[in-house]
């Protein structure tokens, strides 16, 4: 019977810390996801700003008109 009690107590002791680790793990996951999303937004913004800096010849090479580049370049960060 002592073995069963030890196993049961060990299980109870692990419930608290493991559930906290689960909570912390979820928080870490959310923070990392948010950081990746912000990184994507920043990269998208850099690309849009690069379009605004291109010459007409460069835009013509990639098949984008000056108007399209301007329209894309002034879009909001989250668009």
pLDDT in tens, 1-18: 555 555 555 555 444 455
Is 78 inside a domain boundary? no
Instruction: Evaluate whether 77 touches 47 at the Cβ level (below 8 Å).
Output: no
Does the pTM exceed 0.85?
no
Q: How many domains does the chain have?
A: 1
Is 24 inside a domain boundary? yes
**Interatomic CA distance for residues 15 and 23, integer angstroms:** 12
8-64 pLDDT, tens per residue?
A: 555 554 444 555 678 999 999 999 999 999 999 999 999 999 999 999 999 999 999
Domain that holds residue 67: 2-73
């Amino acid at each position: 019977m002592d073995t069963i009690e030890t196993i049961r107590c060990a299980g109870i002791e692990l419930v608290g810390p493991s559930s906290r680790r689960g909570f912390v793990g979820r928080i870490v996951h959310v923070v990392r996801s948010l950081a990746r999303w912000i990184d994507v937004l920043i990269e998208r913004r850099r690309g849009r700003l690069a379009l605004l800096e291109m010459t007409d010849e460069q835009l013509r090479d990639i098949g984008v008109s000056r108007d399209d580049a301007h329209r894309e370049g002034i879009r909001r960060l989250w668009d």
